[in-house]
Amino acid sequence: MDQPKVSQQPEQTISYLGKWSGKTVKAQLPDPSMSNVFWSFIAGFLGILAISFLAKETQIFQLFAPFGASAVLLYGAPTAPFSQPRNLVGGHLISALIGVVVVNFLGNTYITVALAVSLAIAVMLLTKTVHPPAGATALLGVISSQGNYAWILAPVGVGALILLLVALIVNNLSSERIYPNYWF
């Protein structure tokens, strides 16, 4: 007579929930030198100043919040993979395009916002252009671009290029910093 199979469900659940406790080794950021803090501050100030000026004074485009998060990566962690030019520019442009296409074809709903962000994540992963702030770009592509394809160029493209230019100039003024690690 066959014996009944014992369900593995409780063990799988315990194993799954055990992952929630995290790893035993805590990764910590190294203590930054005062020079790095100084150059990060200067670059962040200049990058956001340039974008704010264009947005408020020249009214070329609206102020774009995800660039604040991009500034943290580019100027605070310039060697991180997510901070490299390919990721910055590619991530924002891909995500902006996805957001605008989604809103044009499917409208602005809570489902399309989720769809745009999830598609942006998938395409950034496939193209090796992951830039976390670009997730917000896809979201804004649905809720604020009004389906206008020009929105991809300004504020998104122009702003990303301004941040990149400031990163190239300021991040390389310090002898402790080199930017970028790679372009493509």
Q: What is the DSSP annotation of 82-130?
A: GGSHHHHHHHHHHHHHHHHHHHHHH-SSHHHHHHHHHHHHHHHHHHT--
How far apart are alpha carbons 129 and 109 in whole angstroms?
A: 26
How far apart are alpha carbons 149 and 113 in whole angstroms?
A: 17
User: Which residues lie below 8 Å from residue 82, measured CB to CB, with a gap of 6+?
Assistant: 73, 91, 130, 131, 132
How far apart are alpha carbons 53 and 113 in whole angstroms?
A: 29
Q: How far is CA 83 from the centre of its chain?
A: 9
Cα atoms found within 13 Å of the Cα of residue 58, Cβ hemisphere only: 10
How far apart are alpha carbons 181 and 171 in whole angstroms?
A: 11
Q: pLDDT tens track of the chain, all 184 residues?
A: 566 555 678 889 988 988 898 877 777 878 999 999 999 999 999 999 999 999 999 888 888 899 999 999 999 999 999 999 999 999 999 999 999 999 999 999 999 999 999 999 999 999 999 999 999 999 999 999 999 999 999 999 999 999 999 999 999 999 999 999 999 9
Q: What is the DSSP letter of 131?
A: -
Coil/strand/helix, residue 167: helix
Whether the CB-CB separation of 49 and 147 falls below 8 Å is answered with no
What's residue 59's pLDDT? 83
**Would you state the structure tokens that stand for residue 91, as one six-digit string?**
């991530």
